[in-house]
Structure 1
Amino acid sequence: MDFTETDEERDLRAAVGAIAGRFGGDYYVQHAREGKPTDELWRAMGDAGFVGVNVAEEYGGGGGGLVELATVCEESAAHGTPLLLLLVSAAISAEVIGEFGSDELRRCWLPGLADGSVKMVFAITEPEAGSNTHHLTTTATRSGDDWVLRGTKHYISGVDEAEALLVVARTGRDERGNASLSLFVVPTDAPGLVKTPLPVDVIAPEKQHVLHFDDVTVPSGSLVGEEGAGFRQVFRGLNPERITGAAIAVGIARYALDKAAEYARTRQVWDVPIGAHQGVSHPLAKAKIETELAALMTRKAAWLHDRGLPAGEESNMAKYAAAEAALAAIDAAIQTHGGNGLSSEYGLLPYWGLARLLRVAPVNREMILNHVAQHGLGLPRSY
């Protein structure tokens, strides 16, 4: 095994850091508090080719994989500017359309996803289904050459910023009576699509929405791949989402630890820097170790995915470890700052909220533990 980065990977990390560093934490926190999208940062990343680093070159992308996209996610977050929509636009939508979409869908959507001029978000979650996709109730039915979508989606991120949705809908039932799912690309301005903001207390630029599909009609070409193949397509997108979510969490942890270490080196009480005291230094050192371990698992999961190898358990483990590491790092950073850790001037709390969100979404830690217990340890299914 070779754990050294290639020259290309180092160059990518440095280039992403240079762009994100021009904006920095103050820019992100200001936009998060005002609920404003980080459009300027997204455009800068897109113009440099980093938003679509995993899109095939023939569609204007970088021709890389999840290793490269995870690097973009981690490094931008490590400079204080996490980009959550990379999880759904680049990691899910671009990956799914790139592998399963028709030539027409690829030509229509991938160039915009590659240069950042288009965002496509993912619509799967429903209020009554939770993590059980078999219970999805949003339907898509044929009407001549079209499909008509009816139903409700919940907690859909970034709809107000996106040009299109990648929607998971039930198109029938299989022989066991479970939902047969299909994926559709639906423009966000489609007639009959009602978007309602869903208030949350997380301080972030990205907003959440409830979506109502009231006889939303799309042409037959909006179907991604084969009818009824949605389960396979969804899981092809979920591993990249978990890997990139882990990468963002690792980046958040790095950012928090850098801020805390700088404060601990310079803040003096009783004539010595507070970082000289083990009560301050040890929690930061522990968080650093946990962050590095999470980064290793994230890189392994991305490496496996890019080679077409099974990566489900590793992707889940990476997401679990990284979310825990990010929370521990931010908590240690806040504690290091004392009262200043809660001060608006130091801007740490928005990152705590984001890390806490990543502990719940895109899959919560309990479902990850279920997955590892069942598939990694061979224990009986608990749900």
Structure 2
Amino acid sequence: MEVVESDEHRDLRAAVGAIAAPFGGAYYAEHARAGQECTELWQALGAAGFIGVNVPEEYGGGGGGLAELTIVCEEIAAKGAPILLLLVTAAISAEVIAEFGSEEQRKEWLPGLASGRTKVVFAITEPNAGSNTHQLATTARRVGDEWVLDGEKYYISGVDTAEALLVVARTGRDESGTAQLSLFLAPTNAPGLTATPLPVDVMLPERQFTLHFDGVRLPASALVGEEGQGFRQVFHGLNPERITGAALCVGIARYALGRAAQYARDRQVWGRPIGAHQGVAHALAKAKIETELAALMTHRAAALHDRGLPAGEASNMAKYAAAEAAIAAVDTAMQTHGGNGVSAEFGLLPYWGLARLLRIAPVNREMILNFVAQHSLGLPRSY
């Protein structure tokens, strides 16, 4: 891993920032309050090739890796316009299809994912399984030349604007009774699939859904990779999701701190800027340090993934550190603004909600601590 960013990556940051900056915080806050996706920004990023920056060139992508996608996610958030769906379409779906999909699946889906014209969202979470993936109840069974899916998914983002789902389903059990998982590409308009909006109080452009699969029939070609190997395949996508989620958090923190520092320089009380007071300055400085540390771990995790090295520990640590840094940064920014911190005019509250959500998802901080305790420190498993 290079500690100093390359010229190519600095140029990528500048190019992404130049596209995202004209949209900015007011645009994002407006769409978050209305629950409307940031379609114009998505299309602009797609036209410039940045949504598919990690998709292989032969399928219309940029030929880069997760390091480049991480920069895209961080930089749009740093300009005030974090797009949550990049985590599922580009970081999970594109990575999994490129790595495990058949040649037909790659040709069918990757060009659209690369350009941003197509969205494939990820369906793994279930109401009764939580973080225990082995307890997934959604099943897929072979009936002749088809797969039939039955079950329920929960908190699935962006279904209303996606063409397909990457669904995780149980296709059997091994000798020990452990669930064998498989991945499937299912059209969002498939007969038997019902998507119900799931109301949340967080202000987000992306909507959440509960999905019901009632005898959804898919062709044999819908299977992604090998039957029963879904658990291994899923984690090829989950580490990128955690890394890009961390990048989004780093960008949110950078945006909030930029706004707060400007306010602390400009706002005067008793004849001097409030930023001259250590009670304000130290809190912002602490948040800045934590943000930069989280950014280093995030880019280290991306570098490990791109080199095919074990990235689970770094991905989890990056996600933990970045979510904590983002919450602290936005909270400090709001405190710096005083009453204006919750004013719609200043538009900070949507970022606090997103940062708080990213502390829970795509993996909560407690499961990350469990992972580090068990796998990094060798402590007994606690769950």
TM-score normalised by L of structure 2: 0.99
Structure 1 residue identity aligned to 2:340: N
Matching of residue 289 in structure 1 with residue 289 in structure 2: yes
1:6 Cα deviation from its structure 2 partner: 1.2
Give the equivalent residue in structure 1 for 2:342.
342
Give the equivalent residue in structure 2 for 1:261.
261
Give the equivalent residue in structure 1 for 2:371.
371
Secondary structure (helix, strand or coil) at the match of 1:242 reads helix
Matching of residue 141 in structure 1 with residue 137 in structure 2: no
C-alpha distance in structure 2 between counterparts of 1:75 and 1:217, whole Å: 40
Give the equivalent residue in structure 2 for 1:150.
150
C-alpha distance in structure 2 between counterparts of 1:4 and 1:321, whole Å: 20
Give the equivalent residue in structure 2 for 1:362.
362
Alignment of 1:1-383 (within 5 A): 2-383=2-383
C-alpha distance in structure 2 between counterparts of 1:133 and 1:31, whole Å: 33
Runs of 4+ displaced beyond 2 Å: none
State the aligned residue count: 383
Secondary structure (helix, strand or coil) at the match of 1:22 reads coil
C-alpha distance in structure 2 between counterparts of 1:381 and 1:97, whole Å: 32
C-alpha distance in structure 2 between counterparts of 1:71 and 1:252, whole Å: 13
RMSD: 0.6
C-alpha distance in structure 1 between counterparts of 2:193 and 2:123, whole Å: 12
1:2 Cα deviation from its structure 2 partner: 3.5
C-alpha distance in structure 2 between counterparts of 1:172 and 1:37, whole Å: 37
Any stretches of 5+ residues in structure 1 without a counterpart? none
1:175 Cα deviation from its structure 2 partner: 1.2
C-alpha distance in structure 2 between counterparts of 1:26 and 1:76, whole Å: 13
C-alpha distance in structure 1 between counterparts of 2:138 and 2:27, whole Å: 38
C-alpha distance in structure 1 between counterparts of 2:326 and 2:298, whole Å: 13
C-alpha distance in structure 1 between counterparts of 2:255 and 2:2, whole Å: 26
C-alpha distance in structure 2 between counterparts of 1:42 and 1:175, whole Å: 46
Q: Give me the identity figure in percent.
A: 76
Secondary structure (helix, strand or coil) at the match of 1:235 reads helix
Structure 1 residue identity aligned to 2:61: G
Secondary structure (helix, strand or coil) at the match of 2:245 reads helix
Structure 1 residue identity aligned to 2:213: F
Q: Deviations over 1:53-97 (max 9, x none)?
A: 000000000000010000000000000000100000000000000
C-alpha distance in structure 1 between counterparts of 2:243 and 2:216, whole Å: 32
C-alpha distance in structure 2 between counterparts of 1:38 and 1:20, whole Å: 11
Secondary structure (helix, strand or coil) at the match of 1:183 reads strand
TM-score normalised by L of structure 1: 0.99
Secondary structure (helix, strand or coil) at the match of 1:326 reads helix
Structure 2 residue identity aligned to 1:134: H
C-alpha distance in structure 2 between counterparts of 1:89 and 1:258, whole Å: 29
1:295 Cα deviation from its structure 2 partner: 0.1
1:3 Cα deviation from its structure 2 partner: 1.6
C-alpha distance in structure 1 between counterparts of 2:125 and 2:273, whole Å: 48
1:378 Cα deviation from its structure 2 partner: 0.1
Structure 1 residue identity aligned to 2:225: G
Structure 2 residue identity aligned to 1:70: T
Any stretches of 5+ residues in structure 2 without a counterpart? none
